[in-house]
Amino acid sequence: MSVYKIIEIVGTSPKSWEDAAQVALTTSAKSLEDLRVAEVVKQDVTVENGKITSFRVRLNISFKYKEGM
């Protein structure tokens, strides 16, 4: 049996929502081990002068829980 912890993270990108999600996961993977699932909770954009300046993705990610974390 396994136990997983779920946390919420936000990634941003000037390119796309997909890129924002990838940035968030790539960055998270540097400090979290055994990532399992990423669920997109919310997508939004920042706007300046009527133009999209960045894409933002809020993700719930799960990773295997290890005692002492």
pLDDT tens for 16-32 read 999 999 999 999 999 99
- Quote the pTM value: 0.84
Question: How many structural domains does the chain have?
Answer: 1
pLDDT at 60 over 90: yes
Q: Which structural domain, as residue segments, surrounds residue 60?
A: 4-64
60 located within any domain: yes
51 located within any domain: yes
Percent of the chain exceeding pLDDT 70 equals 97
69 located within any domain: no
Measured between its terminal Cα atoms, the distance across the chain in Å is: 18
Q: Is the dihedral of CA 57, 8, 63, 34 positive or negative?
A: positive
Q: Residue 63: name the closest of 3, 1, 4 by CA.
A: 4
**pLDDT level of residue 67 (50, 70, 90 thresholds):** confident
pLDDT at 15 over 90: yes
58 located within any domain: yes
**CATH of residue 35:** 3.30.1660.10
**DSSP three-state, residue 62:** strand
